[in-house]
Structure 1
Amino acid sequence: MKISHLKISNILGIREAEIEPGRFTEISGKNGQGKTSVLEAIKSVLEGGHDATLLRRGADAGEIVLVLDDGTTIRKRVTAKSSPVEVIQGGQKQKQPGNIIKELTDLLSVNPVDFLRAPKKSRVQVLLDTMPIAVDVEKLAQIANIPVHADGDTNGLAVIEAVRKQVFDDRTGTNRAIKEKEATINQLELAMPDAPGGVDGSEDELAQQVVAATATKDAELERIRTKLDGIKTKNQSQIDAIREETQRQIDEIKTKALKDVEAIQAEERRIEGLAGQQREKAIQTHTDTVTPLNQALESIRSNRELHAKRSQTLETINTMEKELEVLEDDAGKQTKALADIDKYKSELLDALPIPGLEVRDGEIYRDGVQFDRLNTAQQVDIAVEIARLRAGELGVVCVDGLELLDKDAFEAFRERCIGHDLQLFVSRVSDQEFQVKTDTQL
């Protein structure tokens, strides 16, 4: 369905104008002559609502009339206070004109150039609204190996993108954990003591030998001490007897007695010297016996600690290597999940009316190229495709400011729109006076 006749009275810069539009209608002229006013008049009817600024300066009322090729007439009157709209079909005035207009067209298809100029976020939302995709949540959850939740209002592409991002982030965390685990294992292996060697034997047996050697030493010292004490006791008895015997003859035998005492004491010192030597010999014998035993004990104890530390380190490394295997398995599964998600997404995209178009990381891509990096003709092609998909029964496209497109891009835009059975109203700045040309006149 197309607009076959357009009448405008006292709207913006237009006092009176009647146009018989074709498939492609170009409104050209100098600035300020009403080119944009024609487009705004058409859009105001399709958008509905009241806008007093549409009224031409000095006029009390304005009017816009659209006659469609099936005989439907849409009339909008504009005053300072209201903008009533009426729709006449089959010669009868319809009760709900706003609903009829909504059924005829989608406002997002009115100007695809607005799509080109829109912020990235808005373009993405328009695309998602234009190409709704139903996602099999259970299948996607099975592919991704994570729970997937999606309400009915969320576009399938957005759901897939969110799931893919979560799996990608999970894999990033897993790979980070793998690197940390590998680094820890390497550090443990470098710090782990070598397998100890040296003295072998039973710790208890060597300890018993030390006790036995100590007992032998103590017994020998006790023997020496007992013998010495006996000698001292005997000597003291002799000295006492001599003193008693010489008491009476002290003066006569004093010299001899002192010599005898000195001889006895000298002998005692000799015996004490011998006893000291025997004591030192016993201690040295004990030391010579115990030292290697203690060294063997220390070696065994040290080896036992080293064995325990090494065993503990080996056990830790073994545990970490098992954990590393689990992490590497998880990373492999996550990598496969990403590939399967991309495959599933590609399968869904292949069924879309605009091939190669997808949303990734909040950006529109076509055949893997970001939207803003596509050339103008490719961007226009996407905008027109979206306009076609969103267009209702009345496929009207109103485009202002196409001077920004070069000649080739403009021709591509025009041919693309006509090829999709859209009706274009285009304004262009020129050096000539205001004029309207249709596709048959261009």
Structure 2
Amino acid sequence: MSTKIAKLEIENVKRVKALKIEPTAKGLTIVGGKNGQGKTSVLDSIAWALGGERKRPSDPERQGSVNKPYLKLTMSNGLEVERKGKNSDLKVVDPSGNKAGQQLLNSFVEELAIDLPRFMDATNKEKADTLLKIIGVGEKLALLEKDYNDVYNQRRTIGQISTQKEKYAAELPYYPDVPEDFLSASDLINQQQEILARNGENQQKRQRVQQYQAQHQREAELITAKKAEIERLQQELSNLEQTHLQTTNDLHTAQKTAEQLQDESTEELAQSIASIEEVNDKIRTNQSKDMAEEDARNYKKQYDQLSTKIDDIRKNKADLLDKADLPLPGLSVQEGELTYNGMKWDNMSGAEQLKVSTAIVRKLKPDCGFILIDKLEQMDLETLQEFGQWLEQEDLQAIATRVSTGEECSIIIENGEAVGQGEVITPISEATPENNAPSWKGEF
């Protein structure tokens, strides 16, 4: 069973002149009053009594007092804690009369329970680490968080490269009329030489036609001359006519072949040779564009794969936290920061911050059944009552201060003393009529 404060007596500590309080065992005990009347001094006194010298106020003695500070707390387990005398020495006595010291108090008093602002002023990461320590998933979540950050950074880099590749490819022109492979000047020159060689052969054939024509002319003249000598040269004429006939046939064949000949143009190759660098530049541009687009597609594929991996890690983190025994419904850790109902610390209201802090600190050391809360005026009366009911359900005792003199206050301090000290202290959860009480839903 957790230890609580059953009774406390304070004299001459800071602004408190003399005060006795018997806090309610569970729920809220509100110390009310106007500003500067000694409300916070009550909490500081309890923290000093239980927390030791590190919680000692810088100037603990009440101004104008001739007596030294005196503190006495009686705990629910029968332990008595007392500070008195010139040096405010600590005296701890258990129910059997045995004396003890600060070490015994430290065994059940949670430091943050008597110094809640220390938790509230911690960094977002420190708050998250505290919650993870409580629910026992810190190491697993840290590994998932590391994996998440690594994959996220990798995906971001891949995404940047993919975007750059797409932009680069989009800026490059494309030439559909050029070949895929680079042109070779030597190949084009060889083709040109082959055409020139074939054209040379055609020229030789044309020259042979001219030769045949000249020969034909000479033979015709010779025939004319020889006809006068037909009788004498009949045999020679006959032979010559046969030769002439063959020559005529050859001439016709050569003429027919020559007419069918067509020279090939080297103009296109000459232009290609002249513009080979320009064409190759276009080919290089096309290849760069194709490569950039292919790279962009590959990086986009990697980006999508990493996005899927990030989603899986997020789900694992969510599953891990969903299965954990959280101090308060709605608490979680997102991106290394504490959240409540999806809100980070700086987006929570002051009342929500108090509720979250109380719930987390409560779980740090279950043997500590109480917590000190300052400035509870951040809660309206409805929220205050719900908070008190939650404290009762959690079997948690809260001693809190509030700038108020209303009925919600368990005790009101004025000039360091309680107004109506002899009156019965009523817990806040019982102060509001039932017909005005909002329904309790299991959370703040």
Report if TM-score (shorter chain) is over 0.5: yes
Corresponding position of 2:192: 206
Change in Cα spacing, 1:192 to 1:77, as seen in structure 2 (3 Å) is farther
Q: How far did residue 415 of structure 1 move?
A: 1.9
Q: In the TM superposition, what is the alpha-carbon distance from 1:161 to its structure 2 partner?
A: 3.9
Q: Which residue number in structure 1 is paired with residue 23 of structure 2?
A: 21
Q: Does 1:173 align with 2:157?
A: yes
1:7-406 map, 5 Å: 7-23=9-25, 24-49=28-53, 50-51=56-57, 53-57=59-63, 58-59=65-66, 61-77=68-84, 79=86, 82-95=87-100, 97-110=101-114, 112=116, 115=119, 118-119=120-121, 122-132=123-133, 157=141, 160-188=144-172, 190-192=173-175, 194-195=177-178, 203-207=189-193, 210=196, 295-301=267-273, 308-309=280-281, 311-352=283-324, 353=326, 354-361=328-335, 363-374=337-348, 378-406=352-380
In the alignment, the residues of structure 2 paired with residue 408 and residue 213 of structure 1 have an alpha-carbon distance, to the nearest angstrom, of 108
Report the AA paired with residue 383 of structure 1: S
User: How far did residue 296 of structure 1 move?
Assistant: 3.6
Cα distance in 1 between the residues matched to 2:196 and 2:333: 83
Q: CA deviation at 1:344?
A: 0.9
Q: Is the 8 A contact 2:377 2:404 kept in 1?
A: no
Once the two structures are overlaid, the 10-residue window that deviates more, 407-416 or 160-169, is 160-169
Question: Mean alpha-carbon deviation: is it higher for 7-16 or for 172-181?
Answer: 7-16
Give the whole-Å Cα distance in 2 for the aligned partners of 1:102 and 1:192: 81
- Aligned partners of 1:416 and 1:333: how far apart in 2? 45
* Greater per-residue helix proportion: 1
Distance change in 2, residues 1:13/1:307 (3 Å): closer
Identical aligned pairs, as a percentage? Answer: 23
Structure 1 residue aligned with 2:382: 408
Partners of 2:309 and 2:41 in 1: how far apart? 54
Task: Check the 8 A contact 2:9/2:73 in 1, yes or no.
Answer: yes
Q: Which moved more, 1:397-406 or 1:364-373?
A: 364-373
* Residues 205, 335 of structure 1: alpha-carbon distance in 2 compared, 3 angstrom cutoff: closer
State the partner residue of 2:391. 417
Whether the 8 Å contact between 1:384 and 1:417 is mirrored in structure 2 is no
Please tell me the residue identity of whatever aligns with 1:8. Answer: I
Distance 1:26 1:212 in 2: 115
**How far 1:340 moved relative to its partner?**
0.9
Please list the CA deviations of residues 8-63 of structure 1 after superposition, one character each: whole Å capped at 9, or x if unmatched: 23222233333222233232334444332222111112221144511223445322
Q: Normalising to structure 2: TM-score of the pair?
A: 0.65
3-state SS of 1:320 partner = helix
- Mark the CA change 1:369 to 1:30 in structure 2 (over 3 Å): closer, same or farther: closer
What is the distance in 2 between the residues matched to 1:128 and 1:16? 40
Number of paired residues? 342
Cα pair distance change 1:405/1:166, threshold 3 Å:
same
Write the letter of the residue equivalent to 1:194: D
CA separation in 2, counterparts of 1:205 and 1:362?
A: 71
Describe the shift of the 1:368–1:22 C-alpha distance in structure 2 as closer, same or farther (beyond 3 A).
closer
Matched, 1:439 2:423: no
How big is each residue's C-alpha offset from its partner over 1:349-396, in whole Å with a ceiling of 9 and x where there is no partner?
112313442333564323433344445654443233113212441322
Tell me the amino acid that sits aligned with residue 13 of structure 1: R
Q: TM-score, normalised by structure 1?
A: 0.65
Cα distance change of structure 1 residues 194 and 59 upon mapping to structure 2, 3 Å threshold: farther
**Native 8 Å contact 1:73 1:87 kept in 2:** yes
Q: 1:364 and 1:101, CA in 2 relative to 1: closer, same or farther beyond 3 A?
A: same
Secondary structure in structure 2 of the residue aligned to 1:54: coil
Deviation, structure 1 residue 336:
0.9
Q: Which amino acid aligns with 1:68?
A: M
**DSSP-derived class of the 1:76 partner:** strand
Aligned partner of residue 195 in structure 1, secondary structure: coil
- Separation in 1, partners of 2:46, 2:73: 8
Amino acid at match of 2:73: L
Letter in 2 for 1:56: R
What are the Cα deviations for residues 273-294 of structure 1, in whole angstroms up to 9, with x where unaligned? xxxxxxxxxxxxxxxx99x855
